[in-house]
Chains A and B, each alone.
Chain A
Amino acid sequence: MSLNGNTSLPGRKDFETIAQWIRPGSTVLDLGCGDGLLLKYLRQSKGVHGYGIEIDDASVLACVKNGVNVIQSDLERGLAGFEAGSFDYVILSQTLQAVRHTEEILKEILRVGRQGIVTFPNFGHWSQRLQIIFAGRMPVSDVLPYQWYNTPNLHLFTIADFESFCDSHAVRVLERLVLHRDQPVRFMPNLLGTLAVFRFEKDSAT
């Protein structure tokens, strides 16, 4: 586990944000970890011990090549193999919009993890809104590059939608960052941001 080497990851501002939020030396479960580069980055930059869950054969192979812990499994079947509170953070990076059982996954994230971190494309960005209103077409953009007929995304939602979900599901948002072209968006984020990153925990008061 080398802490040397190149720890910057150009073009992944969301990764950098996640890394900034994560306590050094903590444990992380990355759901839908893809090629494992986030986990590798967190290991190198923060000394994080992590595991990824991934269903795709090619991605699992990429994880092995990247020397990352990966468990091939279907997220939609839940996290039955993981004990409650067994990770400091459970991350779902740009996957929430593509899972079928959204509520169950978020519940599982907060069962297995003490905190959850999700990133997702914001469907409330003005360009998405304009495409629907004026072109009358489903939006296609950099962060949502698919046509309606070939998109893997099942649930498109906005930053406001997610915050309302948290309110109604006893989830306390701890931190939020909205990005557009890798730059933070502080003014009217639901209109001007394309990518949202949230850190949250179970609101035990309610």
Chain B
Amino acid sequence: MNSEHSVGAVQPRDQVFSEPLRFRSGAVLDAYSLRYETYGALNADKSNAVLVCHALNAAHHIAGWYEDDPSNIGWWDNMIGPGKPLDTNRFFVIGVNNLGGCFGSTGPSSIDPKTGAPFGSTFPVITVEDWVNAQARLADTLGIARFAAVMGGSLGAMQALQWSIGYPERVNHVVAVAAAPKLSAQNIAFNEVARQAITTDPDFHGGNFYRHGVVPKRGLRLARMIGHITYLSDDAMMEKFGRSLREGKLGFHFDVDFEVESYLRHQGDKFSEYFDANTYLLITRALDYFDPAQNAGGNLSHAFAGALAKFLVISFTSDWRFSPGRSREIVKALQENRRDVAYAEIDAPHGHDAFLLEDPRYHALVRSFFENIHAGVGK
């Protein structure tokens, strides 16, 4: 763990905001706080900042580890660190737990000062635009007027795209990996099954389970199992588990027979221990609602008309959740606006999760893109 390519032991920080934030829904949050981590050093003219946006089940802890919990390694540690594709010797990297999250930022499990009880079901439905607005306020407090780059995978990529639309003057480059310009009906359908699993769990109590001292674990577990299936490709699952049997022979029961069942149950159990059910609902809803073309007459090209950034868009051939075709829609819209864009389609077998893995072609592209950004930073 004491790798020379790790940012090492890190510490999260909290930033409190007392100015009310109006959500896209019209709801207002009077005050809130965001938990974030930073790596590397901000340069004198504050031109080397990179914001890394997280996807569904991750948070602000993107690189390094904690002194008191050394096995808790950041979720994008293979991408971010000294000498890594996003090199913290050159860039000041920020990870932030999004509003509505459950890893330290204000969310449904936080205490609502108006009631003295957790927000629970009263936490406003949040959108990608709202997250980006909150992130922009964090950037303000850090004195960052303009990011060298905003980067993310999956839902994180949606935030990076939204930055280029909502704050075109504040982002020079966008790296969008395993992205989609909006969810398909199938994507929304999977989210709905996951939400139903949670909301029909008797321990959910309409989102106010905190006061009952329970957690809708069965629902969370199912939601995670469903999600996990969509993150992997058919081939990757077959490769990893095949039809291997746990006990080496059929059990003629409905408990775990196949290794893949054991794996999914384990993933679901682990997830239900640490993830907040209301946050899961909020985040899947934010995914469903993201559709920048909707505000531009249904035309994605028009949605990017004001964008100024240079883009790197990367997809993976085996990703069926957000297939390469979804990234090509983004690239087409950018190209039609004559925006600078490089698009690569990585022939990787792992499915959607490939964006978290260390594929040399993928990492070389990100590295080269950031080397060019560095060459232009502060000049």
Residues on A facing B (Cβ under 8 Å): 27, 49, 51, 57, 60-61, 63-65, 67-73, 81-83, 86
Contact = CB atoms under 8 A, between A and B. Distances in A.
A70 B343 contact: yes
Contacts of A57: 344, 346-347, 361
B174 to A, nearest CB: 14
Which of B312, B343, B345, B365 has the most chain A CB within a 10 Å cutoff? B343
A49 B332 CA distance: 15
Which of B312, B335, B338 has the most chain A CB within a 10 Å cutoff? B335
A183 B345 CA distance: 39
Contacts of A73: 328, 343, 345
B53 to A, nearest CB: 21
Contacts of B342: 60, 63-64, 68-71
A72 B372 contact: no
B341 interface: yes
A72 B344 contact: yes
B239 interface: no
Contacts of A68: 342
Interface string B346-366: 110000000000000100110
Given A57-B361, A61-B364, A64-B369, A69 B341 contact: yes
A21 to B, nearest CB: 21
Nearest to A27: B338
B336 interface: yes
Interface of B: 312, 328, 331-332, 335-336, 338, 340-347, 361, 364-365, 368-369, 371-372
A61 B365 CA distance: 6
Contact of A72 (B336, B338, B345, B368): B345
Contacts of B368: 61, 64-65
B304 to A, nearest CB: 15
Closest 4 CB pairs of A and B: A64-B368, A71-B343, A65-B368, A72-B345
Contacts of A70: 342-344
B42 to A, nearest CB: 25
B331 A81 contact: yes
B344 A60 contact: yes
11 contacts: A49-B338, A51-B335, A57-B346, A57-B347, A61-B344, A61-B365, A61-B368, A65-B372, A68-B342, A69-B340, A73-B328
Given A60-B344, A69-B341, A81 B332 contact: yes
Given A67-B372, A69-B340, A71-B341, A61 B312 contact: no
A69 B369 CA distance: 11
B328 A81 contact: yes
B336 to A, nearest CB: 7
A133 B170 CA distance: 66
A126 B372 CA distance: 46
Contact of B336 (A60, A65, A69, A83): A83
Contacts of A63: 342
A57 B348 CA distance: 12
B332 A61 contact: no
Which of B335, B342, B369 has the most chain A CB within a 10 Å cutoff? B342
Contacts of A60: 342, 344, 365
A7 to B, nearest CB: 19
A81 B301 CA distance: 13
Nearest to A49: B338
Nearest to A29: B335
Contacts of B336: 83, 86
Nearest to B366: A64
Contacts of A27: 338
B361 A64 contact: no
A69 B344 CA distance: 11
Nearest to A62: B368
A147 B295 CA distance: 56
B301 to A, nearest CB: 10
